[in-house]
Amino acid sequence: MEALEFYVKGSRLVFGLIYTHIQQKIFADSATSITDNQVILASGEKVDYEYLAIATGSWQPSPAKLASTEKAGACEEMHGSQARVEQADRIAVVGGGPVGVQVASDIKSYFPQKDVTLIHSRTQLLPNFGPRLHEHVMKTLKQLDVNLILGERPQIVTGDIASIMAKDKIQEALSFRDGHKETFDLVIRCTGQRPNSSIIANLFPSAIYKQSGQILVHPTLQINNGPNMPNPNIFALGDVAKTTGPRMERTARAQAEIVALNIVSLITGYTPLQTYRVTEAHGVIKLTLGKHDWAMYYREDSGHELMVHGKARGDNIDVRPVWQAMGAKYPPAPATATAPAPAPTPS
């Protein structure tokens, strides 16, 4: 071991005392399970580890999350989402969280002639945020002429009448609480985030929080399997970890720094380990509301709500800084562009 400055591009992490020879290896594969010292890949390959960080996130239905792990496949999925939206005249978006709000407003903004309905199970949109954001979003959606149905959790009709042929289109039927049914050319589901925690379920069953399926962690983000935790060098962070932080990018970024610092501390024998604490900044959200509008919001610990809103400067939702933060070169804009697929991830 000797002093070596190691800078992770796009992060504030600057470490001293790291192994002189830093070895990096990237596996284009899927992890299927872990042991207390190995990661088992779908290909059958086994990867030894001394320290492990689990950042497997959560599952959501398309278009919020894509199934493909390759650029070409992901682009094909997005183009498929675009085509389905373009072909549909009557569209239902189920779920009034950030993804659902952005999907509905995007579609109506790019295709104002379409009949778009946003359905949410609660009476407040974006329930993890305050009423001020709800009121602003409601106003913007009404200006876009998005139909709103709040306080409803419709069921997808199953059986012979689930899909109804009408005007050469297959329609999906939703059943509402009062028993009435409505048909749509396209139903986009923006509900049901599911943590990808199954990878540790067999090894550490007591570390799975039954109510949400997330991985229990200590404040240091080490996995909490109770007194029977054989390996303190395994961490979890992001959506898959059960913490007090919101499920947002800023939270995951802050937790990544904590995990990285603590791994270095374990390697060097430095104590105490860092602990994760939620700050107000972790709850900041920037929403796109169609192709012209955006809103940025956060709520202070005192309950005071702060919000700014404005007009968008283009279709790329200010994605350039994200590429730069990841150390990637932002590509030039394509020569031709189609309406973007809905469901940008909240920042």
Phi, psi at residue 17, to the nearest 5°? 60, 70
* Structure letter (DSSP) for residue 154: -
pTM, to two decimals: 0.81
The token pair at 71 is: 């650029």
Question: Are residues 63 and 341 in contact, defined by beta-carbon separation less than 8 angstroms?
Answer: yes
CA angle 76–96–294, rounded 5-degree value: 75
Residues in the chain: 347
pLDDT tens, position by position, 73-88: 999 999 999 999 999 9
Cα gap 16→261, rounded to integer Å: 11
* Structure letter (DSSP) for residue 269: T
The token pair at 22 is: 């830093």
Q: Supply the DSSP string of 108-151, one letter for each residue.
A: HHH-TTSEEEEEESSSSSSTTS-HHHHHHHHHHHHHTT-EEEES
Q: Which residue would you say has higher pLDDT here, 62 or 56?
A: 56
**21: pLDDT confidence band, cut at 50, 70 and 90?**
very low
CATH architecture of 6-60+193-278: 3-Layer(bba) Sandwich (3.50)
Asked if omega into 98 is within 30° of 0 (cis), the reply is no
pLDDT at 261 over 90: yes
pLDDT, averaged across the chain:
85
Burial of 316 (0-12, 13-18, 19+ CB in 10 A): middle
Domain(s) of CATH 3.50.50.60: residues in the chain = 6-60+193-278, 88-192+282-325
**169: pLDDT confidence band, cut at 50, 70 and 90?**
low
What is the chain's Cα-based Rg? 22
The CATH number given to 88-192+282-325 is 3.50.50.60
Cα gap 338→333, rounded to integer Å: 12
**16: pLDDT confidence band, cut at 50, 70 and 90?**
very low
pLDDT tens, position by position, 115-167: 999 999 999 999 989 999 999 999 999 999 999 999 999 998 865 444 454 45
